[in-house]
Structure 1
Amino acid sequence: MAHQTIKTATEALDSYDAFAAGQAIEKLIDQLSNWYVRRNRRRFWKSDDGDDKQSAYLTLYECLHIVQRIIAPFMPFLSEAIYQNLSKCDAQAKPSVHLTQWPEFEPARLNDELVFEMDVVQTIVGLGRSAREQSRIRVRQPLSRILVCVTDAKHEQGKSAKVAAHKHIQQIIEELNVKTVTFIESDTEVVSSTVSANFPRLGKRYGKLMPAIKAALANADSAAIARHAQQKRNFELEIDGQYIEFEPEDIQVQTTSAEGYTSSSADGFLVALDTSLDHALIIEGLARELVRTVQDTRKSAGLEISDRIVLAITGSERILETLQQHRDYIMAETLALELPTNDEKITTETKRKLEHGFRVNRTLGDDSWCITLIKA
């Protein structure tokens, strides 16, 4: 994507289209910070300096090396600040980013197919997050499944959106914090649609036909019309012996999720979340909340991101159950070397360490817990 951005920005600026260039650069920066860095955090956090960790850092460095140069005409001072930080490890670096060469894209690194696939994945993830917002279920609370209805939209090289979604299903699962993804052929399984005429638009064109149009829409296949509208496709209806073509903007669509689901749709994609929660999912959600609050406590205690800790958590009954079931996960995520549970005898040495530890109290609904930690 970085080399596609260089290509797009170069062509746009050569045509004096600074707006298009800025849009392409903004999209790259968003993808770099909100997708690449976030999804590769575990690679950055590894304690060993193996090839995988070095590859993650090198990719980030190369992207920032490109970004600092293509933003230079738009944000000269910010690009200079980034350049001065990055160039510390390059003895042959120019004194300023504004003395460097404009980057050139490498045709071999352009991959329209992969960009298309990730656009599909991110569309599904975005709709899933929107549906979760509607449900008011915490992002860290795992859900059993999502249902996905994908259009047969094709890439210019014949790539299917459905194939792309299947290919990257694990990323969808991780991003939306669900156990499974189920692909469905029709959105009628999880939503019902009602359609009505957009009177301000249609009234100007058809006037006296509006009562007949209203009746025809009421008797038509609302699900099919809704799909046409979502996919920005025109459709026809026979009204009083004549065929009338409708544009997507001529119709108003209202959707209602089936009981136990919340859904969101756009551009021919629909994602529905199964919002039912069992005890195991609730406990797993609490484990993720414990991890988040421990991480916040680490920051408040002034620890470095790679510091190992000695950790103790006490709390209500469900918190203790969560510790019993997800102890290894919590320790791995928080870099804890020790996390004693109630059925373990805490050594005198550990007690002594924790007496001088950083302590915070947290609550979530009916659950409460106390976190004590210290650098190992």
Structure 2
Amino acid sequence: MSKFDYLIVGAGLYGATFAHLAYKQGKKCLVIDRRSHLGGNIYCESIEGINVHKYGAHIFHTSNKQVWNFVNSIVEFNRYTNSPVANYQGKLYNLPFSMNTFYQVWGVTTPAAAIAKLEEQKAEAVAKMKADGATEPRNLEEQAQLLIGKDIYEILIKGYTEKQWGRKCTELPAFIIKRLPVRLIFDNNYFNDKYQGIPVGGYNKLIDGLLEGVETKVGVDFFDNRDYWESIADKILFTGKIDEFYDYKFGMLEYRTVSFKQEIHDCPNYQGNAVVNYTEREVPYTRVIEHKHFEMFGTAVNECPITVISKEYSTEWEPGMESYYPVNDERNNALAEQYRTLAIQEKNVIFGGRLAEYRYYDMHIIIEKLLTNRFE
């Protein structure tokens, strides 16, 4: 007889939320993770009293009130508002593209003047394409200039994107940038969602709350003793890499990955903002994260005499590295579909999350999907 109703492979947000909801419905669950900690990529490491987002900045945002109420029922969220800025050759620009950005780039002060400048630059991009004999954008550079014009593309998109993807924008497909947000208001709030914030006390509080009452084991690799783990539960929720589950039967899926260089500075405030993007190609990192700003506001920032920053580097993924972002090109999409076809035939295995579905998910989408699960 099986000991558990569910074995949950992976203690990230998907696995922890699944375990929480199943446990609330009387299911006995065991959560295992190959890492030495719970929480997956939202895990926070406490350094000098600051919750450091070990695997990159995570900001929770949603317009779904049910989702917002659910996460706040686990832990209270603060009022953090994501308002990144971009540094290009020492000058700062507000993100997303808003009236603040247009004023910083062109000196325009009204929406009408901003629209006129945007339309002028878009027309130049169209004319250049026609002169080259093209009727549709042939690469990311042309697509971006059709959407936002040459000036903003050169300052805020080109270098940053080339660092993210490790290749020139003229070598990237146009579909990567399908649209770019343009706001004709002086508003630096990055998200349009109604609710956003960070768990008070960090994301570990959210994970601990979700897994309260659930048995967990860390430092355990499902694949080291697969037969045993498959024997102890009626069903498995698998949140790891789908190609690994099938022993790379059709080939290995690819990812983009990021790495972080962490620094502790003997000052209360390093850059005055949680996230600063570095958009010129010559700066090797894509952004600098100053973690205290996610949870400390106003005078509280200066009350903590030190600060922790992380410089984020985008690199080509190789086997053995952390797998962050699925590569949505023709080869990988076709390969992922082959694995998904196998997955839907499984009777006792559920595949869920970014790695198991080979799809990138914002956190609120994961919660939203799982709140409709019936746990049969």
Max Rg structure: 1
With a CA cutoff of 8 Å and minimum separation of 6, indicate the structure with the bigger relative contact order. Answer: 2
Normalised TM-score (structure 2): 0.21
- The answer to which structure has the higher helix fraction is 1
